Amino acid sequence: MGAINAAPSPLSITGGGPPLSADFASWIAAAPDLADRLVNEFAPVATTLTTQQAYWIGLNGWITDRLSGPIMNGEVTVDELGAQTWAVYASSYWGGLELREHWGMPPAMERIGMQLPQHPFIEVQQGMVGLLRQRLEAVHGGGAACLQALPAILRDASPNGPIHGSGYNAGVQVVKTEDPPIGQRRPHRTPRPAAVRINSRAFMRVDYDMPTPQYLKESRSAFERAVTSHPEEYERIIRGEHGETNLRDVWKTAVEYGNLTWGGDAQDGWTDAYWEESIRWSSTVNFGLEAAGQAAFVALLTGDEDAALRAVMCNVIYLGASPGWLLGLLDVEATLPTVG
């Protein structure tokens, strides 16, 4: 699937735009027209949802995959990146609003003792600005600059890093679906063995019981070729330089963190339909995250500047995903937009 159709959009989103500080807006641009075009492309998929209470989480997951493919195929320009990043951020925010409106604030934050910033909307977006600046300066510098930036991006031990983000996001699906000690499936949920296969031991290995897109298949093959051809360099990158965090530890921590944040009664209030859709679309979110991490290794192992550029660009569009969900959950005075 290539460029997004620029034709007029019969469906449009009304109201409910996400918060956007001046600093944040200087790096990404609000793009309601792009969101409307994506909503129209999503319309046939929306009819397959088992509940319309999962519309926004579905749109969010679908958008990440829809935008990741053309980036990984080299079809997106740097100038288009800001609007696409906003689309992921906005749909993540709406997904958070949807979850809180229907089922209240998840207990995950209290469980992990999360200390929210005094001014969350300002501070969360300021943090995003710093990450965007680092990545976009590399992107504007071209493939060579992205090669220089990738080692630090890979070691970002937060959901903003391609390795941690993929491990955590897939790990959350395991928590929902697998029985102990792998996960924490609740007794009233239908067993879903291997809905997503991931563990802390198999570095960057994820399997889904749903079709994977072509760009991810190609990314996986390129990753395997690069690792097989450069096994010693692969291990050196994973180990890092003296004092750097081993990437296997980043992966292990990410996968296990999902067990802490979304285990136990975190989803007890959800309907079965929303629970199923959350697995479907949160797994879909992982496609681009996985591809970006693999492309980063291909770039570093082979010196491929095009792969480096694609890896950083794909990572960029995900930078607003986790913060967007957080702000959607916290924005108790906001209401969901309408589509019509």
CA–CA gap between residue 329 and residue 271 (Å, rounded)? 18
For position 156, what pLDDT does the model report? 94
Q: Which residues pair with 338 in a beta bridge?
A: 14
User: What's residue 165's pLDDT?
Assistant: 94
Percent of the chain scored above 90 by pLDDT? 77
| C-alpha–C-alpha distance, residues 255 and 252, integer Å | 5
CA distances from 209 to 69, 192, 196, 205, 287 (A): 20, 10, 6, 14, 13
What is the average pLDDT score of the chain?
A: 92
| 260 — pLDDT class (breaks 50, 70, 90) | confident
pTM of the predicted model as reported, rounded to 2 decimal places: 0.94
**Which CA distances in Å does 338 have to 17, 46, 84, 246, 280?**
11, 14, 20, 45, 23
Of 205, 212, 207, nearest in space to 193 by CA:
207
Q: What is the mean pLDDT of residues 145-157?
A: 96
Angle, to 10 degrees, between the axis of helix 214-229 and the axis of helix 272-302? 40
Q: What is the pLDDT of residue 281?
A: 98
298 and 290 Cβ atoms separated by less than 8 Å: no
The full set of domain ranges for the chain reads 14-339
Residues near 124 by beta carbon (within 8 Å), at least 6 away in sequence: 117, 323, 326, 327
- Which residues, listed in sequence order, are joined to residue 207 by a DSSP beta bridge? 197
Q: Cα separations (Å) of 141 from 78, 135, 333?
A: 10, 10, 41
Residues 288, 165 contacting (CB under 8 angstroms): no
3-state secondary structure of 338: strand
- Res. 10 pLDDT band, cuts 50 70 90: very high
Summarised one tens digit per residue, pLDDT across range 45-63 is 999 999 999 999 999 999 9
| CA dist list (Å): 25 to 10, 30, 45, 224 | 27, 7, 30, 38
Nearest 5°: phi and psi at 121? Answer: -65, -35
Reported confidence tier of residue 84, pLDDT bands at 50, 70, 90? very high
pLDDT (tens digit per residue) in 211-240: 999 999 999 999 999 999 999 999 999 999
Q: So what's the pLDDT on residue 195?
A: 95
- Residue closest to 288 by CA, chosen among 56, 57, 69: 69
- Concatenate the DSSP letters of all residues of 165-224 into one string: HHHHHHHHHHHHHSPTTT----TTSPP-TTSEE--SSSTT--EESSPPPHHHHHHHHHHH
pLDDT band per the 50, 70, 90 thresholds, residue 2: low
Which of 1, 8, 129 is CA-nearest to residue 73?
1
Q: What are the phi and psi torsion angles at 156 (to 5°)?
A: -65, 105
Amino acid at 194: A
